[in-house]
Amino acid sequence: MRFPHDFFFGAASAAYQVEGAWNEDGKGVSNWDVFSKIPGKTFEGTNGDIAVDHYHRYKEDIRLMAEMGLESYRFSVAWTRIIPDGDGEINPQGLAFYNALIDECLHYGIVPFVTLYHWDLPQVLEEAGGWTNKRTVDAFSKYATTCFKAFGDRVKHWITFNETIVFCSLGYLDGAHPPGISHNPRLYFQATHNVFVAHARAVEEYKKLRQYGEIGITHVFSPAFPADGQADNAQAADHANQYSLAWFYDPILKGAYPDYVVGQLKERGWTPDWTAEELTVLKWAAPKNDFIGLNYYQPQRVIKHNPTAEDKPAAQQVIAGAPGKVSFDGVYKTVSLEDKKYTKWGWEISPEGLLEGLRMLRGAYGDIKLYITENGLGDQDPVENGQILDADRVEYIREHLKAVKQGLREGLHIKGYYAWSVIDLLSWLNGFKKQYGFIYVDQQNNLTRKRKLSFGWYKQVIANRGGEL
Ligand code: BG6
């Protein structure tokens, strides 16, 4: 079986991670421009000031994408290039850059798939409370509409937000992303709600313009499975799925929050400040949302957290050495299992988790339209005699594409696969040590681009429409 002709073989990036040119051509300052420069916040103090200089080298990069046969390029727009202070004047030079990038893609027949928000918020808005302030929702609406009007004649695929759970939880629970706040569930839930409303408003604006493209959102897809057959671990996994899946997917697809979580937030005093009008907007937008983008890296293996039994692991022998991470609400713990494979950064490699998760998603939401908007292997690639032999990445992507193919056989409505990432780029917290790309960037040699082993392999896959998988 080959992949259908209307299935996109793509690859992705995000503005802050590739562009650089952080203060050029009228660009405003983003929260990441500031946060990454606070000592100790990022790996070896790396930041996106230069990143991989895609801003100046996009023509070369897109030429390489075309050589690979890439059908679609998912990239994000930096809000601060379009509206430097968040909600004021539009910067014509910012529009010019993305116009040129889009046109370059189209020149080679590469379909642009545009993310409006991949974490780089104008710093002015961050200082005013970021996503916890409803003013940011209004500002986003204006920014999104500006992009639709400027690029919508050529861009027909829009993602509003990338991974709400990540930027909100790392920003308000773990303190690892801006604004660097820890242990504040109240702000965390408020921020997520405001993002969902911003998404719904953008859907509303987009549909009003009648540009006849599609618009959706990208979520982390990390389905939780119990680590073993114990009943309380199964319950813990259900709880994890309510908080990490239902809370994010329900408001987008059903237009209402899951009762289970809403009830608990009330008891715990974490209910966001929401208005009847906002809840109506969510309801109105849900049936108009065209697709969900899934970023799949790994599933969660879950056990019930039992603080009094730390020295006796609850799920017995199956749990490998690592202590695991306790959920922010103390209910469950994610663990590593002895019989699973892991990347060098300890992320589980589980193509079967993707397939099982997709089936779970169909059970919960029916036959929705899906794109895999990110999936890939973060590795320190082996370089031998100047060749980048990333055979492990080939294996990783091959196995995940096979899972996608199986999903298609089962009738799932998956319309594309975007490998993360098209080119080596800046990892938010892991700097340049962790690589994901098909295209290597030589940090020691003026950021020279080189084709990796995986580049030629993906090219073949695309040429054969995955027939050999
Ligand atoms: C996703 C993000 O969560 O994970 C990407 O959307 C990110 O922006 C990717 O780069 C990989 O994360 P990391 O931490 O391995 O670089």
Residue 454 domain flag:
yes
Residues with active-site annotation: 374
Segment 37-45 mean pLDDT: 94
Question: Averaged over 47-76, what is the pLDDT?
Answer: 98
Residue 216 near residue 290 (C-beta atoms within 8 A): yes
Distance CA 250, CA 282 (A): 10
The finding on whether 14 has its CB within 6 A of some atom of ligand 1 is yes
Q: Are 289 and 203 in contact (CB under 8 A)?
A: yes
Sheet strands (E) in 187-296: 214-220, 224-226, 291-295
CA 84 to chain centre: 23
User: What pLDDT band is residue 310 in, cutting at 50, 70 and 90?
Assistant: low
Q: Using a 6 Å cutoff on CB, does residue 428 contact ligand 1?
A: yes
Q: What is the pLDDT of residue 319?
A: 52
Number of domains in the chain: 1
The mean pLDDT of the chain is 95
User: 295 in ligand 1 pocket by Cβ < 6 Å?
Assistant: yes
CATH of the domain at 445: 3.20.20.80
Task: Tell me what ipTM this predicted complex has.
Answer: 0.99
* pLDDT tier at 311, thresholds 50, 70, 90: very low
Asked if residue 421 has a cis previous peptide bond (ω within 30° of 0), the answer is yes
For residue 315, what pLDDT is reported? 47
Q: Find out whether the beta carbon of 163 lies less than 6 Å from any atom of ligand 1.
A: yes
Residue 397 belongs to domain spanning:
8-226+240-298+343-463
Ligand 1 contact via 374 beta carbon (within 6 Å): yes
Q: Cα(337) to centroid of ligand 1, in Å? A: 23
In a domain, 303, yes or no: no
Percent of the chain with pLDDT over 70: 97
Closest Cα to atom 14 of ligand 1: 427
| Each residue's pLDDT tens digit, 129-165 | 999 999 999 999 999 999 999 999 999 999 999 999 9
Q: Is residue 321 part of a domain?
A: no
Q: Ligand 1 centroid to 321 CA: how many Å?
A: 25
- Whether the per-residue pLDDT at 127 is higher than 50: the answer is yes
pLDDT 10s digits, 222-236? 999 999 999 999 999
**Ligand 1 lined by 429 (C-beta under 6 Å):** yes
- pLDDT value at residue 316: 45
For residue 306, is pLDDT > 70?
Answer: yes
Instruction: Please report, for residues 167, 168, 184, 185, 186, the alpha-carbon distance to residue 173 in angstroms, rounded to integers and kept in the order given.
Output: 10, 8, 5, 7, 10
What are the tens digits of pLDDT across the range 248-296?
999 999 999 999 999 999 999 999 999 999 999 999 999 999 999 999 9
**What pLDDT is recorded for position 322?**
57
Cβ–Cβ < 8 Å for 145, 203: no
Distance CA 446, CA 258 (A): 50
Test site for ligand 1: of 75, 118, 374, most ligand atoms within 8 A of the Cβ: 374
Asked if residue 139 belongs to a domain, the reply is yes
pLDDT at res. 407: 98
Distance from C-alpha of 72 to C-alpha of 217, rounded to nearest angstrom: 17
Q: Per residue in 329-366, pLDDT tens? A: 999 999 998 889 999 999 999 999 999 999 999 999 99
- In percent, how much of the chain has pLDDT > 90? 94
Question: Is 393 among the domain residues?
Answer: yes
Distance between CA atoms of 5 and 415, rounded to whole angstroms?
10
CA 269 from centroid of its chain's CA atoms: 29
Question: If pLDDT is split at 50, 70 and 90, which confidence band does 307 have?
Answer: confident
CA of 376 to the centre of ligand 1 (A): 10
Residues in the chain: 469
Q: Is residue 309 part of a domain?
A: no
Domain annotation covers residue 335? no
Residue 117's pLDDT band (boundaries 50, 70, 90)? very high
Alpha helix (H) ranges present in 54-184? 54-68, 79-82, 92-107, 123-127, 134-151, 164-172
In this structure, which residue's CA is closest to atom 11 in ligand 1? 427
Residue 197 Cα to ligand 1 midpoint, Å, equals 24
CA of 15 to the centre of ligand 1 (A): 12
Question: Ligand 1: does its nearest atom lie under 6 Å from the Cβ of 434?
Answer: yes
Q: How far is the CA of 427 from the centre of ligand 1 (A)?
A: 6
- pLDDT tier for residue 323 given thresholds of 50, 70 and 90: low
Our mutation pick for probing the ligand 1 site, out of 165, 174, 217, 427, counting the most ligand atoms within 8 A of Cβ, is 427
Burial call 115-131: b when 16+ CB within 10 Å, e when fewer? bbbbbbbbbbbbeebbb
Residue 451: per-residue pLDDT = 98
Res 50 pLDDT > 60: yes
| Per-residue pLDDT reduced to its tens digit, 356-411 | 999 999 999 999 999 999 999 999 999 999 899 999 999 999 999 999 999 999 99
- Whether ligand 1 lies within 6 angstroms of the CB of 427 is answered as yes
DSSP 200: H
423 belongs to a structural domain: yes
Q: What is the number of the ligand 1 atom nearest to the C-alpha of 427? A: 16
Residue 325's pLDDT is what? 87
